[in-house]
């Protein structure tokens, strides 16, 4: 598929840049380095603002007031929030905890809504290495999951030589 795997900001304290570089070297893409390079409206922001429309409007006003040119990504938890987001046209819509089947429907809605081609789609929430393929096949542009950085297993390396247990010099 054309889906790109992206990391999250869920990294080991003091190791963010190393972990994000490892994702990049491994073929993934860095989603955001910090809070300064893209606005991501998560569920708590949406709830505190009183809905998707208010959150997107306030984020746009913040960018205008501060003279910032930042992309705005909006997380949606269901189809009602998705329909609300489609009215305000953020740069990217993140489908949070959608099933692969619902993700297919959500991607279709984004494309069918006559929205500008610049709206990107992303799946996130509960996705693992074992479940990412159905999400990619659903047609999203991006899949993000914290396991790329926060659940990495250390490589078990040993320098033991095989063969004779006796050393000769």
Q: Which residues are catalytic?
A: 10
Angle between helices 100-112 and 79-88 (to 10 degrees): 30
CA distance 152 to 148: 7
């Amino acid at each position: 598929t054309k889906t790109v795997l992206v990391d999250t900001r869920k990294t080991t304290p003091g190791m963010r840049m190393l972990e994000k570089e490892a994702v990049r070297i491994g073929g993934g893409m860095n989603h955001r380095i910090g809070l300064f390079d893209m606005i991501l409206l998560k569920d708590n922001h949406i709830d505190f603002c009183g809905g998707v429309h208010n959150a997107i409007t306030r984020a746009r006003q913040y960018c205008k007031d501060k003279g910032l040119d930042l992309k705005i990504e909006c997380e949606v938890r269901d189809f009602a929030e998705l329909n609300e987001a489609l009215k305000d046209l953020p740069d990217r819509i993140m489908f949070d905890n959608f099933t692969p089947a619902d993700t297919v429907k959500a991607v279709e809605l984004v494309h069918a809504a006559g929205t500008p081609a610049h709206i990107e789609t992303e799946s996130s929430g509960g996705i693992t290495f074992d479940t990412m393929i159905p999400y990619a096949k659903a047609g999203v542009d991006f899949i993000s999951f914290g396991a790329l950085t926060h659940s990495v297993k250390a490589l078990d390396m040993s320098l033991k030589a095989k063969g004779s247990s006796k050393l000769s010099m």
